[in-house]
Amino acid sequence: MDAALYWLSRMLEAGEDRLYIARRLIRMAIEDISLADPRALEQAVAAMQAVHFLGIPEGDLALAQAAIYLSVAPKSDAAYRAMGAVHEDVEHTIAEPVPMNLRNAVTRSMKEWGYGEGYQHAHQFEDAMVDMECLPPSLAGRRYYFPTDRGLEKRIGERLEEIRKRKSRTEGP
Protein backbone atom coordinates (compact mmCIF):
# COMPACT_ATOMS: atom_id res chain seq x y z
CA MET A 1 0.00 0.00 0.00
CA ASP A 2 2.80 2.42 0.80
CA ALA A 3 4.47 1.67 -2.53
CA ALA A 4 1.17 2.30 -4.33
CA LEU A 5 0.95 5.75 -2.75
CA TYR A 6 4.58 6.48 -3.55
CA TRP A 7 4.21 5.56 -7.24
CA LEU A 8 0.90 7.37 -7.47
CA SER A 9 2.56 10.51 -6.13
CA ARG A 10 5.45 10.10 -8.59
CA MET A 11 2.97 9.82 -11.48
CA LEU A 12 1.04 12.88 -10.31
CA GLU A 13 4.24 14.91 -9.87
CA ALA A 14 5.37 13.91 -13.39
CA GLY A 15 2.11 15.27 -14.80
CA GLU A 16 0.39 12.00 -15.68
CA ASP A 17 -3.22 12.49 -16.76
CA ARG A 18 -5.40 11.96 -13.70
CA LEU A 19 -8.14 10.26 -15.71
CA TYR A 20 -5.58 7.84 -17.12
CA ILE A 21 -4.61 6.92 -13.54
CA ALA A 22 -8.28 6.53 -12.64
CA ARG A 23 -8.74 4.27 -15.67
CA ARG A 24 -5.86 2.07 -14.49
CA LEU A 25 -7.37 1.88 -10.99
CA ILE A 26 -10.71 0.84 -12.47
CA ARG A 27 -8.99 -1.81 -14.53
CA MET A 28 -7.23 -3.13 -11.42
CA ALA A 29 -10.56 -3.27 -9.61
CA ILE A 30 -12.14 -5.45 -12.30
CA GLU A 31 -9.13 -7.59 -13.29
CA ASP A 32 -7.23 -8.13 -10.06
CA ILE A 33 -9.86 -7.78 -7.32
CA SER A 34 -13.19 -8.42 -9.01
CA LEU A 35 -15.75 -10.35 -6.99
CA ALA A 36 -13.41 -10.91 -4.06
CA ASP A 37 -14.47 -7.34 -3.20
CA PRO A 38 -17.10 -5.91 -5.59
CA ARG A 39 -16.91 -2.56 -3.77
CA ALA A 40 -13.44 -2.08 -5.27
CA LEU A 41 -15.04 -1.15 -8.58
CA GLU A 42 -17.39 1.27 -6.82
CA GLN A 43 -14.42 2.91 -5.10
CA ALA A 44 -12.42 3.19 -8.33
CA VAL A 45 -15.35 4.63 -10.32
CA ALA A 46 -16.10 7.07 -7.51
CA ALA A 47 -12.45 8.19 -7.59
CA MET A 48 -12.66 8.73 -11.35
CA GLN A 49 -15.82 10.81 -10.93
CA ALA A 50 -14.26 12.81 -8.11
CA VAL A 51 -11.16 13.52 -10.21
CA HIS A 52 -13.33 14.63 -13.10
CA PHE A 53 -15.56 16.77 -10.87
CA LEU A 54 -12.94 18.28 -8.53
CA GLY A 55 -9.82 18.49 -10.65
CA ILE A 56 -6.40 19.20 -9.16
CA PRO A 57 -5.40 18.99 -6.28
CA GLU A 58 -8.52 17.72 -4.50
CA GLY A 59 -9.12 14.93 -7.01
CA ASP A 60 -5.67 13.56 -6.23
CA LEU A 61 -6.94 12.63 -2.76
CA ALA A 62 -9.64 10.50 -4.35
CA LEU A 63 -6.98 8.69 -6.37
CA ALA A 64 -4.98 8.10 -3.19
CA GLN A 65 -8.04 6.78 -1.37
CA ALA A 66 -8.79 4.38 -4.22
CA ALA A 67 -5.16 3.25 -4.42
CA ILE A 68 -5.18 2.44 -0.70
CA TYR A 69 -8.49 0.59 -0.93
CA LEU A 70 -7.38 -1.47 -3.93
CA SER A 71 -4.02 -2.26 -2.35
CA VAL A 72 -5.53 -3.88 0.72
CA ALA A 73 -8.57 -5.50 -0.96
CA PRO A 74 -8.64 -9.28 -1.38
CA LYS A 75 -7.61 -10.28 -4.89
CA SER A 76 -9.19 -12.59 -7.47
CA ASP A 77 -8.82 -13.00 -11.21
CA ALA A 78 -11.47 -15.74 -11.40
CA ALA A 79 -13.93 -13.64 -13.44
CA TYR A 80 -11.09 -12.60 -15.77
CA ARG A 81 -10.09 -16.25 -16.28
CA ALA A 82 -13.75 -17.24 -16.75
CA MET A 83 -14.17 -14.72 -19.55
CA GLY A 84 -11.00 -16.03 -21.17
CA ALA A 85 -12.37 -19.59 -21.08
CA VAL A 86 -15.71 -18.45 -22.49
CA HIS A 87 -13.90 -16.56 -25.24
CA GLU A 88 -11.97 -19.72 -26.12
CA ASP A 89 -15.21 -21.68 -26.49
CA VAL A 90 -16.81 -18.89 -28.52
CA GLU A 91 -13.80 -18.85 -30.84
CA HIS A 92 -13.54 -22.63 -31.24
CA THR A 93 -17.13 -23.87 -31.29
CA ILE A 94 -20.00 -23.27 -33.67
CA ALA A 95 -22.48 -20.51 -32.87
CA GLU A 96 -25.42 -22.66 -31.85
CA PRO A 97 -28.85 -21.08 -31.65
CA VAL A 98 -30.21 -19.95 -28.31
CA PRO A 99 -32.03 -22.90 -26.69
CA MET A 100 -35.79 -22.73 -27.26
CA ASN A 101 -36.54 -22.54 -23.54
CA LEU A 102 -34.60 -19.25 -23.33
CA ARG A 103 -36.24 -17.60 -26.31
CA ASN A 104 -38.83 -14.98 -25.55
CA ALA A 105 -42.18 -15.78 -27.19
CA VAL A 106 -43.40 -12.27 -27.98
CA THR A 107 -45.88 -13.36 -30.67
CA ARG A 108 -48.43 -16.17 -30.96
CA SER A 109 -46.42 -17.72 -33.78
CA MET A 110 -43.29 -17.82 -31.64
CA LYS A 111 -45.23 -19.65 -28.91
CA GLU A 112 -46.49 -22.14 -31.51
CA TRP A 113 -42.91 -22.71 -32.70
CA GLY A 114 -41.88 -23.60 -29.14
CA TYR A 115 -40.19 -20.40 -28.04
CA GLY A 116 -40.06 -20.27 -24.25
CA GLU A 117 -41.29 -23.86 -23.86
CA GLY A 118 -39.73 -25.35 -20.75
CA TYR A 119 -38.61 -22.00 -19.35
CA GLN A 120 -38.48 -22.05 -15.56
CA HIS A 121 -39.19 -18.74 -13.83
CA ALA A 122 -36.95 -18.78 -10.75
CA HIS A 123 -39.45 -17.05 -8.49
CA GLN A 124 -41.91 -19.91 -8.95
CA PHE A 125 -39.49 -22.44 -7.41
CA GLU A 126 -38.32 -23.17 -3.89
CA ASP A 127 -35.36 -20.91 -3.03
CA ALA A 128 -35.72 -19.45 -6.54
CA MET A 129 -33.49 -22.20 -7.94
CA VAL A 130 -34.16 -23.79 -11.30
CA ASP A 131 -32.53 -26.76 -12.97
CA MET A 132 -32.94 -25.84 -16.62
CA GLU A 133 -29.92 -25.90 -18.89
CA CYS A 134 -29.11 -22.49 -20.37
CA LEU A 135 -26.04 -23.32 -22.46
CA PRO A 136 -26.24 -24.71 -26.00
CA PRO A 137 -26.37 -28.54 -26.15
CA SER A 138 -22.70 -28.96 -27.09
CA LEU A 139 -21.63 -27.00 -24.00
CA ALA A 140 -24.25 -28.30 -21.55
CA GLY A 141 -22.83 -28.56 -18.06
CA ARG A 142 -19.70 -26.56 -18.92
CA ARG A 143 -18.28 -24.47 -16.08
CA TYR A 144 -16.31 -21.31 -16.63
CA TYR A 145 -16.24 -19.46 -13.33
CA PHE A 146 -14.29 -20.97 -10.45
CA PRO A 147 -14.37 -18.56 -7.52
CA THR A 148 -11.45 -18.27 -5.13
CA ASP A 149 -11.79 -18.57 -1.38
CA ARG A 150 -10.88 -14.92 -0.84
CA GLY A 151 -13.20 -12.13 0.24
CA LEU A 152 -16.81 -12.17 -0.92
CA GLU A 153 -15.90 -14.67 -3.60
CA LYS A 154 -15.71 -17.35 -0.90
CA ARG A 155 -19.42 -16.81 -0.23
CA ILE A 156 -20.15 -16.83 -3.96
CA GLY A 157 -18.38 -20.18 -4.23
CA GLU A 158 -20.41 -21.58 -1.33
CA ARG A 159 -23.62 -20.42 -3.02
CA LEU A 160 -22.58 -21.99 -6.33
CA GLU A 161 -21.86 -25.26 -4.56
CA GLU A 162 -25.28 -25.13 -2.89
CA ILE A 163 -26.93 -24.54 -6.29
CA ARG A 164 -24.97 -27.37 -7.92
CA LYS A 165 -25.82 -29.84 -5.13
CA ARG A 166 -29.48 -28.91 -5.36
CA LYS A 167 -29.43 -29.29 -9.13
CA SER A 168 -27.75 -32.72 -8.95
CA ARG A 169 -30.43 -33.92 -6.49
CA THR A 170 -33.22 -32.90 -8.87
CA GLU A 171 -31.54 -34.53 -11.87
CA GLY A 172 -31.38 -37.89 -10.12
CA PRO A 173 -29.32 -40.98 -11.11
* Averaged pLDDT in 10-residue chunks for the chain of 173 residues: 96 97 98 97 98 95 98 97 97 94 93 92 85 90 94 95 81 56
Which of 72, 96, 116 is the last residue before a domain boundary?
72
Find the domain containing 14 and state its range. 2-72
pLDDT of residue 172: 54
Single-letter code of the amino acid located at 24: R
Using CA atoms, how far apart are residues 82 and 90, in angstroms rounded to an integer?
A: 12
**100 and 56 within one domain:** no
Per the structure, the count of domains in the chain is: 2
**145 and 87 within one domain:** yes
Q: Do residues 44 and 25 touch, judged by C-beta distance below 8 A?
A: yes
**86 and 117 within one domain:** yes
Name the H helices within 14-121. 18-28, 39-54, 58-72, 78-92, 108-112
Which of 41, 72, 103 is the last residue before a domain boundary?
72
Cβ-Cβ contacts under 8 Å for 95 (sequence gap 6 or more): none
**148 and 93 within one domain:** yes
**93 and 152 within one domain:** yes
**166 and 98 within one domain:** yes
Q: Do residues 34 and 76 touch, judged by C-beta distance below 8 A?
A: yes
**107 and 59 within one domain:** no
**15 and 42 within one domain:** yes
For the domain that residue 11 is a member of, what is the CATH number? 1.20.272.10
Using CA atoms, how far apart are residues 68 and 44, in angstroms rounded to an integer?
A: 11
pLDDT of residue 99: 93
Using CA atoms, how far apart are residues 131 and 149, in angstroms rounded to an integer?
A: 25
pLDDT of residue 171: 60
